[in-house]
Amino acid sequence: MVERRSILDFIPHLVLLLGIVILAFPVYVAFVASTWDAATIANGHMPLRPGPHFLENYYKLLFVGTGSSTREPVGVMMLNSLVMAMSIALGKIAISLISAFAVVYFRFPFRMAAFWTIFVTLMLPVEVRIYPTYKIVADLNLLDTYAGLTIPLIASATATLLFRQFFMTVPDELVEASRIDGAGPMKFFFDTLLPLSITSIAAMFVIQFIYGWNQYLWPLLITTRDDMQTIVIGIKKMIVTQDALTEWQLAMATAILAMLPPVLVVIVMQKLFVKGLVETEK
C-alpha cells in the first residue's frame, strides 16, 4: 500500500484541486472586482489582483448606500436578511419539533391524517401558492413587515419529517423510564428529547438558515419600502439599471458580503451539522 500511495493519492487530489479552482475562481474575481473603482472595471481591463479601493468601497456600501439604484446602505439590507433568515430557521425548528413530537408521541384522532396533511404541503412551496399567500398577508396588513416576510415561510414539512424520523429512533424504553421517573410529556420533551435532538436541530438550522437567507421571490413581492429589502434583492436591483452605469465594484462587494453569513454559519456548525446528518447518537 505505502509504495502505491503517492500516485493513487495524487489523482484524487488533482481532481479536488481542479474542482476548488473552478468553484473559487469566480468568487475571487468578484472579490477583486469589489476592490477597484468603477472606471477600471467598466473599461474591460480589470487586473486579477486586488485593487486599492477595498476600504472605500465597503465603507460606502455598508453605511452610505449606492448612488442611484438601491439607496439604502447594505448594512440595513444585511440586517433585514439576518432577521428573516434567523426567524425562518428558528421558527421552522420550533414548529417542526412540536408537530413531530405530537405526531410521534401522542395518540389523537386523525393523527395520521394530520401527518399526511403536513406531508402534502411539501408539494406546495411558496411559488405555487404565491397568490393566495400574498392575499392573506396583504389582508392582514403585514406587507413590509418582518412578520409578513417570515411567517408564511415558517411552516415546514421537511423539518417535521426529519424530526419525526429522528424521534422514531429514540427507544420506547426511554419514554417509559421517564414516565416511571415521574416526568410528564413536556418534561420528557425538554429533559430528554430536546438534548438528544441537538445534532438534528443544528443540521436543520444550517439548511434552513441558508434557505431563508437565499429567499428571493417572496421578499421581492412582500417588501416595497427600501428599508425593508433584503440583500439578495439588493444585489439584483444594483445590476438591472439600464440607463445608468452599473456600479460593478459595489454590486460585487454586496455579493461578497451576502455570502459571508451563510459561510460563517456552515463553518461554525459544521461539526454538529455533519453529525446530525450522518449519525444518530443514542
CB atoms within 10 A of CB 3: 6
Max Cα-Cα span within the chain? 76
Q: Of 23, 108, 195, 240, which one interacts with other proteins (CB under 8 A)?
A: 195
The whole-angstrom separation of Cα 194 and Cα 181 is 17
Residue whose CB is less far from other proteins, 56 or 181: 181
Q: Of 139, 243, 279, 281, which one interacts with other proteins (CB under 8 A)?
A: 281
Q: Which three cell numbers stand for residue 76?
A: 440595513
Q: Which three cell numbers stand for residue 254?
A: 454586496
Would you give the distance in Å from CA 104 to the centre of its chain?
A: 27
Q: Of 13, 135, 187, 225, which one interacts with other proteins (CB under 8 A)?
A: 187
Binding region for other proteins (CB under 8 A) out of 5-13, 116-124, 186-194, 205-213: 186-194
Residue whose CB is less far from other proteins, 120 or 177: 177
Residue whose CB is less far from other proteins, 176 or 227: 176
- Contact between 9 and other proteins by CB under 8 A: the answer reads no
Residue whose CB is less far from other proteins, 243 or 281: 281
- What is the DSSP secondary structure assignment for residue 177, as one 8-state letter? H
Q: Of 82, 130, 196, 272, which one interacts with other proteins (CB under 8 A)?
A: 196
Residues 161-180 that bind other proteins (CB under 8 A): 171, 173-174, 176-177, 179-180
Q: Which of 99, 218, 105 is nearest to 159 (CA)?
A: 99
x/- binding map, residues 249-268, to other proteins, per CB under 8 A?
A: --------------------
- Contact between 181 and other proteins by CB under 8 A: the answer reads yes
- Contact between 279 and other proteins by CB under 8 A: the answer reads no
Secondary structure percentages of the chain, helix, strand, coil, to 5: 75, 0, 25
Distances (CA, A) of 23 to 15, 16, 18, 28, 207: 12, 11, 9, 9, 20
- Contact between 3 and other proteins by CB under 8 A: the answer reads no
**Total residues interacting with other proteins, rule: CB under 8 A:** 17
CB atoms within 10 A of CB 235: 21
Q: Which residues of this protein are in contact with other proteins, per CB under 8 A?
A: 171, 173-174, 176-177, 179-183, 187, 191-192, 195-196, 281-282
